[in-house]
A and B are shown apart, each in its own frame.
Chain A
């Protein structure tokens, strides 16, 4: 028997005898890198392992230990899935645990974060009012406008409103049209901060960003207008808008920040991931020169600025 066969047999034996100390299924899913696949895996886990426990007819109330354990699991699942059904199940379970005195501030913040992440703003408003003194920030106001035409590929994103505190405007964009640089970033990400700062020191890059880049934040529970507004004031050439739903961007499999995706007619043709050091600036310049050779360097940054303002208003 070869060495490999022996090893395989040993692993099989350990699995069969339960001696293999494997990680929990939730941890395995948590470690998946592709967010779309991860989200689907969590949804499946919820359907097969959590939902039956929640919907089974209860002859007596769920005991405290089981309730705590279920709450812990659903908190993890809800963190990674934008699924309103799961978010509402999380809220229901939280309310049950809350009534039994099993929740702490952390659980409260998580349940609230789930509502924000799933864009359930009216529920978030009710939750915020019901839990004063829990350290919750008020939910943002979302201004929605009727969108007359929905082309293929049109998605909605949130624009932090300039002069209206805690307010986001919902607008439609088509992220698949044309060629542009899609930058995934978040105002609380220190590497994004370094990237935006480095870009800001180069007039050509600033001009390029204003005309050809779309800075988007991945959806998470941190929908803090203050953070986005401060970032956008500091880096006007890199104004970050917020993705409403992860599923609207199936092309993006990696959601690390910062990531610079070159998008051309609905396809990702190249990317630059991360900002570990200053050398990344040269890589970004090369990426832009390679894919946007016609993007002329700025002769007069001021004129680009005015044009870009018009462009971003149109976005």
Chain B
């Protein structure tokens, strides 16, 4: 059921890309609205139902040139660096370069991160350089599964890397 739904969504996303350029904005707006409503439903289910779980999924999303999509609000260099540094495994996103995302509005950043099931990292990224205190300290440690300033370098292993986050999927 989930696979079927994912396939349908991918098809709709592809159609959005084509239609945005071929049929004007109205239809594309409808699709984006639909996409947003899907995201609202999936937000509550988080990681296990993340939309983008592989480079292939990412390629589909990155091919959509709709200007209102948060990815397309990044400067071209930032967008390239963000896309070039995404790492996936069978569970989904394992590492990403978060620095370009600091240029986005918090709402857009949230939207983009939620595509990967990592919207919880939005406040962490905001406080990225202040010791990770918002996430890691105290009894919350076991709830914090993402390692800021580190990159996934192997299964269950993170290595210090500027501007990266090593996620729980690593």
Contacts and interface: CB of A to CB of B under 8 A. Distances in A.
Interface residues of A, number: 46
A93 B142 CA distance: 39
A224 B156 CA distance: 23
B162 to A, nearest CB: 4
A23 B145 CA distance: 30
A273 interface: yes
B97 to A, nearest CB: 10
B149 A230 contact: no
B158 interface: yes
Given A275-B156, A276-B156, A137 B149 contact: no
A230 B162 contact: no
B147 to A, nearest CB: 5
Interface string A62-73: 000000000000
B137 to A, nearest CB: 7
B168 A276 contact: no
Interface in B94-148: 102, 127-132, 136-138, 141-142, 144-148
Contacts of B130: 109, 135-137
A75 B149 CA distance: 13
Contact of A33 (B102, B142, B153, B156): B153
Given A33-B153, A230-B138, A188 B129 contact: no
Contacts of A110: 129
Q: Chain B: interface secondary structure?
A: mixed
B158 A191 contact: yes
Interface residues of B, number: 33
A80 interface: yes
Interface string A103-128: 00110011001000000000000000
B155 interface: yes
Interface of B: 81, 84, 102, 127-132, 136-138, 141-142, 144-150, 153-162, 168, 170
Contacts of B162: 30, 75-76, 79-80
Contacts of A80: 162
Given A135-B127, A189-B158, A275-B156, 5 more contacts: A27-B81, A191-B158, A256-B157, A257-B159, A276-B170
A220 B148 CA distance: 12
A262 B96 CA distance: 31
A258 interface: yes
17 contacts: A188-B148, A189-B150, A189-B158, A191-B157, A197-B142, A221-B149, A222-B131, A226-B137, A256-B154, A256-B157, A259-B157, A273-B157, A274-B155, A274-B156, A275-B156, A276-B155, A276-B170
B147 A190 contact: yes
